[in-house]
Chains A and B, each alone.
Chain A
Amino acid sequence: MSFPNPPKAIKLVLLGEAAVGKSSLVLRFVSNDFQENKEPTIGAAFLTQKCTIGDKTIKYEIWDTAGQERFASLAPMYYRNAQAALVVYDITKPASFLKARHWVKELHEQASKDIIIALVGNKYDLVEDSNDELRKVSVEEGKKLAEEEDLLFFETSAKTSFNVNEVFIGIGSKIPDNSPVTETRPENGARIDLSSQPAQKSNSSCC
């Protein structure tokens, strides 16, 4: 008789412009629910949800961050330790796609090297009924960015739940099984400490 493996914790952060549907994607994933006119997030909200992919169980520890510009300086605090990130944009708002590009760039420069990033074009329900004039960011544009930057790519609708679980399953499948489970613990520095990793390495080589 085999025991199921203990759930593997994955720290995931959502980034993207205000009102693209970050909180709604999380709400759909965590509670299978949807709310029209959801209030914007202030600061950040922390949620957890378990997800079974094949024979492994993943416990997502999700940081749903505020999209407003005034909170942008806090983002490093949330992506610093993250193993995965969803960069979300609204497929009816070109500016939000531009912002998504910036987030991808920032993550590549500042976040952990092996972070898995999914690019998510949300609000698919708005263009679903052959209502193509609302769509302002084409599938090709999204795909192209994803290929260039080595990202997973999805178009989703938190409203209809289209493709939402697939995003999380997609990320879960890409996380290597043997990657060390990092403890959820706070760091001391108030800023991102770029020197911390090399310092740790040199420490261990000393011993």
Chain B
Amino acid sequence: MLPRLTVSTQAVTNYTAGLPENDLSIQTTVSNSDLSDLAFNGVAKVNNTHFQSLDIFPKDNSSEDEYLDKFVYPGKDLNNNQFNDKLKQFFILSSSGKPIYSLNGGDELIIGFTGLITTIISSFQHQLNEDIVVIDSGDVKISVLNRDPLILVSISKINYEMSMNQITNDYQQLKNQLHSLYNYLLCILSRPTITKSFQNRMNYDLRKMLTDVDFKNLDDMAMKLTYGLSGDSDNDDSFEFFLSQLVNGFPTSKISYTIRSKLNSLLLHHRIDEILFGLLTSNLRRIITMIKPKVHNISNSDIDFLLRIIKNNNKNIKDIETEDLWIPICLPEFNSNGFVYVYVKTFDLAKILVIDGKYYEDSQLINIVLISTNKNNFFKVKEMANKIIENIIQLELKDKLYQELSNYTINLPPTINHFVYRDLKHKDLKQCLISNNPKDCNSIIKYVYYYSNLYNSKSSTIQSLTQESGNRKLSYIKYDVITFSIIDDNYEFYAIGSGELSDLISDGLKVVKWIKSNDKRFFGNVVKFNF
């Protein structure tokens, strides 16, 4: 039976009366003894507005599919008009103007742009000794990231990318997108490789070093970072990627504290000296546990690229269990000058669980990802991984782990359609919890629009909710839905919902409270050691 939630209306009254007298904590009575998910009765109201009727993109009377093909999805074989229809462009070129990558169009089409861009950039450099960052012409924004010998450029005509972030006073989203594409190149090539390639020949063609998969990955990232849509048709984790990049938090998983601690100590116990970072992930997507040295940090972006690159190398479930991977990768934010060696072993938890003489049908992949500083110690690392797997097989709680990983759904209160909670308390790894993701293009685009506006304008409509803890901030924007954020020192909570604002806030705070009461299951899954 689902536990039922009773809510006092006190907070609501307080809110509508102006400033609440006490802390805005809501009394919740949860008959929740078995520590399962907090469940809310009722189904979130489905919001039927289509993205084309919102003020996101230019108006056009075509169907959704036609619209997306015309304005959104990338195309390489386009004529000039088709190229100009696209709402977003990304280019990567060398300092001398040689095209390396373009989201849309072929070389002949973009060569004019690349020439123009290099001219503008160099004239700024020569006359003002400054790097150009954004060219703003009202409804078109051109952003530039100059990382000699590479130049990265984006051109955006998208409504939600036009506004400046009001906290950083910067076009944060556009800037982050270019940084991400640049970091991808660093990840696979490392900075010295790129620099050396151009050292002797200014007109070196960096594409020689890149493969079709790399260009596919760049397309995919460009699409996800802009629209929350995947470059191909599979939108499985594309929105999650967008949102986790926006709020800068790595999506977490819910695992009981006992199991997490067990797994953590397994990793620590078997760790060999050269292992710098060690992760157990589920499906190369969520971190179950992580070990790291006290003195070194690995950034969200580095983890994200790492898992993404492994995953792209590794799409077929069938053969990954037979392989041990050994992949040189540069972690650009950790050290852009060299490579680390990443060992990856994947095993299916379902195959080691036997219930009534039967195996589980649905596979649940666990990945052991071990980052080594020494390229020659593959066999030592492999031995370490084997010991960890052996120990997991012996683990009494492996059945529970399987259940927890496979039943990853979050129930929402009826007023809230979607939320993201970003934890600020645990400093070792920035993590966030995202409720179940939309999969259809229409919802994704709308959510991307709502969250972008909410995130960028978060300081514009602050109302102090309490007098005592004045640092808790509320912002909201009303459309046909309401988007709101609640932020204090320990968390940032962003949500989309419908109904009365006061109901939304009180339901939002209930979710926050529930997450906080499950803090150890969601966050703090990092263990440090002396390196």
Contact = CB atoms under 8 A, between A and B. Distances in A.
A69 B376 CA distance: 20
A74 B314 CA distance: 20
A110 B90 CA distance: 44
A47 interface: yes
**Residue of A35, A45, A77, A185 with most partner-chain B CB within 10 A:** A45
**Residue of A33, A40, A42, A186 with most partner-chain B CB within 10 A:** A42
A13 to B, nearest CB: 13
B370 to A, nearest CB: 13
B322 A30 contact: yes
Interface in A1-42: 18, 27, 30-31, 33, 35, 38-42
B71 interface: no
Contact of A40 (B211, B342, B377, B378): B211
A189 B376 contact: yes
B208 interface: yes
A44 to B, nearest CB: 5
Nearest to A188: B376
A101 B309 CA distance: 31
A187 interface: yes
Interface string B168-205: 00000000000000000000110001000000000000
Interface in B284-311: 309-310
Contact of A39 (B189, B314, B329, B380): B314
Contacts of A44: 325-327
Nearest to A35: B316
A71 B328 contact: yes
A184 B318 CA distance: 27
A41 B312 CA distance: 10
Interface string B469-484: 0000000000000000
B378 A39 contact: no
B189 A70 contact: yes
B376 A31 contact: no
B319 A42 contact: no
Nearest to B313: A42
**Residue of B309, B319, B375, B378 with most partner-chain A CB within 10 A:** B319
Contacts of A207: none
Contact of B323 (A18, A46, A69): A46
Interface string A40-62: 11111111000000000000000
B54 interface: no
16 contacts: A31-B319, A35-B316, A39-B315, A40-B211, A40-B313, A42-B325, A45-B324, A64-B323, A68-B211, A70-B188, A70-B189, A70-B193, A71-B328, A184-B379, A186-B376, A186-B377
Interface of A: 18, 27, 30-31, 33, 35, 38-47, 64, 68-71, 74, 77, 184-190
